Amino acid sequence: MKDIAWVIDPKNDKFEKILFRMRTFASGLLESKNIDLTFIAAPSLSVKILSMPQRKNLYLIFKEAVTNVAKYSKAKYCSVTLKNEGNNLVMEIFDNGVGFDINRSLLGNGLTGMKKSGEELNAELIISSKIDHGTLVHLFLAPL
């Protein structure tokens, strides 16, 4: 969990740095699976500073979502978007891959952990998926 130690290190407080690490992680992993990545971080996000537990949980959710895209989606395309809506932070990880039935699939440690991180963040976390259309992980965090 070297990654998590990095994320909670006060030296890496600036959201900009976390964004850079997120982008590097996603592009490396998805490139190896030939999945095109669009990583969009709204410029205004760069000045925001998250608390340590917020940084950790945001990163954990992001990492698990992208890992699942790489492992299961068979997608051509994945987008990661971070933006503000008012004082809220929205993060979306979308893939246009095979999708899965959320009600039927056994939740693995990943999805269960994501939900736990979402609860710790006091955030709204919605995972939606449609067979043959893809998967969307939507996180709504209020307030920054």
Residues that bind ligand ATP (CB under 6 A): 68-69, 71-73, 95, 97-100, 105, 107-111, 135
Describe the strand order of the beta sheet including 88-95 as a list of residue ranges: 36-41, 77-85, 88-95, 134-141, 124-130
Q: What mask of x and - would describe binding to Mg ion in positions 19 to 38, judged by CB under 5 A?
A: --------------------
Quick one: DSSP state of residue 105? S
Alpha carbons 68 and 120: distance in angstroms, whole number? 21
Alpha carbon 115 to chain centroid distance? 12
- Gyration radius of the chain's alpha carbons: 14
Work out how close the CB of 84 gets to ligand ATP at its nearest, in angstroms, rounded to a whole number. 25
Q: Which does 107 bind (CB under 5 to 8 A by kind): Mg ion, ligand ATP, none?
A: ligand ATP
* Residue with the shortest CB distance to Mg ion: 110
Helical segments of 78-137, H only: 109-121
Smallest separation, CB 112 to ligand ATP (Å): 6
CB under 5 to 8 A by kind: which of ligand ATP, Mg ion, none does 142 bind?
none
Q: Considering CB under 5 A, how many residues would be counted as binding Mg ion?
A: 2
> Quick check: 68 binds Mg ion (CB under 5 A)?
yes
135 binds Mg ion (CB under 5 A): no
Q: How far is the CB of 110 from Mg ion (least distance, A)?
A: 3
- Quick one: which of 69, 64, 81 has its CA closest to 33? 69
